[in-house]
A and B are shown apart, each in its own frame.
Chain A
Amino acid sequence: MTMSTKTPNDRRRFLLSIARGIGLSAMGALVWSAYVGEVKAAPLVLRPPGALDEAEFIKNCIKCGLCVEACPYDTLILARPGDNLPIGTPFFTPRSVPCYMCTDIPCVPVCPSGALNEPSVSSYVKSKAVLDINKSRMGLAVVDESSCIAVWGIQCDACYRACPLLGEAITIETSKNERTGKHAFLKPVVHADVCTGCGMCEHACVTEIAAIHIFPRALAMGKVGDHYIKGWDKTDEKRLEGASIEVTKTKISEKSALDSLNDEGGL
């Protein structure tokens, strides 16, 4: 072996050069990871149809731009340096160009990495998978009632009319305008179970800054958890099938109630 011919100094030099490499790497990792951590934390970004959850999406996306090239409306843009988003990943800004919900969803099947997941935007018709853009969940429309003129009482149904799932994703709730006594309020109400987050409502909104905004679903939505259930809805019970029994322990409930009461403690 060549190792045996090495002098102790050679070994020292070798080990020290490795140590120097590790030291430099640690220094580099400090700067590099700080940047990566900042840039990947972009919770407000809206992704193309069929995108995996954000954390999985940025793992998978290879930044090739094939979805951007496939998009016929130039809705999708690859994040450029300076956009403060994960560089090179596709996103859209509905107020500028919303997703026009192509029925053949050209952006999804071209994705080579699986970051845009075809099954998540497919329906089964006679056990054959057919692309179904209505299944996409790019985000959720949220209405700011304080700046919605329809809520004020001024006649407007721009978002309702722009919605590609007319009368399903947004419905109009009417109530009497007591101030005038003869008009109605036409309040838009978004239904999270139908809304795809395409953003045509935000694009159509007539106020200076849109009163209806698309937010990523993870930000716009809460989660009930396992403690509450719609007892009148059989299908809601399914939600709890995988639920685990969770017992909270406090200082008092550590022992059984009887022991706890009998415990004289420091007395």
Chain B
Amino acid sequence: MKNYRYLILRRLTQITLLVLYVGANAWGWKMLQGNLSTSSILGAIPLSDPYAVIQIAVTGASLGMDILLGALIVTLFYGVIGGRAFCSWVCPINIITDTAAWLRRALKFSEVQKRFYMSRSLRYWILGLSLILSALMGVAAFELISPISMAHRGLIFGMGMGGGALIVIFLFDLLVHENGWCGYVCPLGATYSLIGKFSLIRVFHDAEKCTDCRSCITVCPEKEVLHMINRSSESVLMGECTNCGRCVDVCQEDALGFSIRSFTKQPKDEE
């Protein structure tokens, strides 16, 4: 069970949030209304997707007080505390892409398939492009195609053809590239990578305990962030780390764990 602690906690968080949202529309619950673009806690505290608000801002829209305040609250929360935790603890697409990645590993596709080259920075290009298009076209460009909000809205308000987008992402991650959507394409994840770059909660690696089994790297959806494994004791500082805690789960030696950001680095003692 210990091997799945954070995975189970994350799924519980994701599903609880979803149930609250669905309950708000279906049965009028007041706890969490709206959707991931903008929500309202108890009809009082606004929460807004900072990326959506930036896109709206560059169109030249007048920007309501509530979405500005909501985006500020969300940005502060992930910026100071959570890091890129939205992606692995809140986003419903994460369940789909994790499943695809797990299936891909189980079926050993990566061992047979030639690697399909994509750059990790693709998502930042898409992020930039979405802002340019939003400004030029006068409408939040990614919000019109976002499979994340499509899926989330679909689950709360009715799916339409939105299910198609989810199947496409699942197949892309399964057949084309491991963690293709979340790790390479999604500009919302890219935004949270930038926001969460300086957050306090970080995975810490204790190189002295590490036996170099590399299980953490196998399960990590953003393998580059674990460059210090078995090399030096330090915090995982790259903004791309989603704080999903899978590496902590799978580490049998307790060489990985959540802690407050550490600014020091200690190379591993070589015997």
Residues of A near any B CB (own CB < 8 A) = 21, 24-25, 28-29, 32-33, 35-37, 39-40, 55-56, 58-60, 62-66, 68-69, 77-78, 80-83, 86-88, 110-115
Contacts and interface: CB of A to CB of B under 8 A. Distances in A.
Contact of B38 (A32, A82, A113): A113
Contacts of A82: 160-161
A81 to B, nearest CB: 4
Contacts of B139: 36, 40, 58-59, 86
Contacts of B161: 80-82
A63 B61 contact: no
Interface residues on B, range: 35 or more
Given A25-B129, A65-B153, A77-B158, 9 more contacts: A29-B133, A40-B139, A59-B61, A60-B63, A62-B38, A64-B34, A66-B40, A86-B144, A115-B64
Contacts of B59: 59
Nearest to B160: A80
Contact of A65 (B156, B159, B160): B156
Contacts, number: 147
Contacts of B154: 80
Contacts of A80: 153-154, 157-162
Given A40-B137, A112-B48, A68 B25 contact: yes
A77 B160 CA distance: 12
Nearest to A76: B157
A21 B65 CA distance: 36
Interface string B36-66: 0111100000101100110010011111111
A32 B136 CA distance: 12
A113 B66 contact: yes
A25 B121 CA distance: 12
B143 interface: yes
B67 interface: yes
A112 B165 contact: no
Contacts of B60: 59
A112 B160 contact: no
Question: Which 4 A-B pairs rank lowest in CB-CB distance, beginning with the nearest?
Answer: A80-B160, A112-B66, A114-B64, A64-B38
A145 B126 CA distance: 52
Contacts of A25: 125, 128-129
A85 to B, nearest CB: 10
A55 B138 contact: yes
Interface string B242-254: 0000000000000
A113 B141 CA distance: 17
5 contacts: A24-B125, A35-B144, A59-B59, A78-B153, A88-B153
B14 interface: no
B37 to A, nearest CB: 5
Interface string B136-153: 111111011100011001
Contacts of B64: 60, 111-115
B24 interface: yes
A16 to B, nearest CB: 13
Given A60-B56, A62-B48, A64-B37, A114 B157 contact: no
B199 interface: no
A32 B133 contact: yes
Contacts of A39: 144
